[in-house]
Amino acid sequence: MPPTFTPAPGSADPGSPARWAALEEAAGVVATLAGVEPGARSSGEDDVPAQLRRADPWRRERAEAGVADLAAIMEPGLAALLAVNARGADPRPAAMALWREFVAARAAIVTLLSPNGARGTHLSA
Task: Indicate whether 21 belongs to any domain.
Answer: no
Task: Indicate whether 64 belongs to any domain.
Answer: yes
Task: Indicate whether 50 belongs to any domain.
Answer: yes
pLDDT band for 47, please (50, 70, 90 cuts). confident
Expressed as residue numbers, the domain containing 50 is: 28-36+45-116
Task: Indicate whether 72 belongs to any domain.
Answer: yes
- pTM comes to 0.80
pLDDT digits (tens, 9 = 90+) for 16-31: 788 888 999 999 999 9
| DSSP 8-state class, residue 35 | T
Task: Indicate whether 88 belongs to any domain.
Answer: yes
Comparison of pLDDT for 118 and 92, the residue scoring more: 92
Residue 102 to residue 97: CA distance in whole angstroms: 9
Number of domain units in the chain: 1
Task: Indicate whether 86 belongs to any domain.
Answer: yes
pLDDT digits (tens, 9 = 90+) for 93-113: 999 999 999 999 999 999 999
Cα dihedral 9/13/18/20 (nearest 10) = 130
Q: Are 80 and 94 in contact (CB under 8 A)?
A: yes
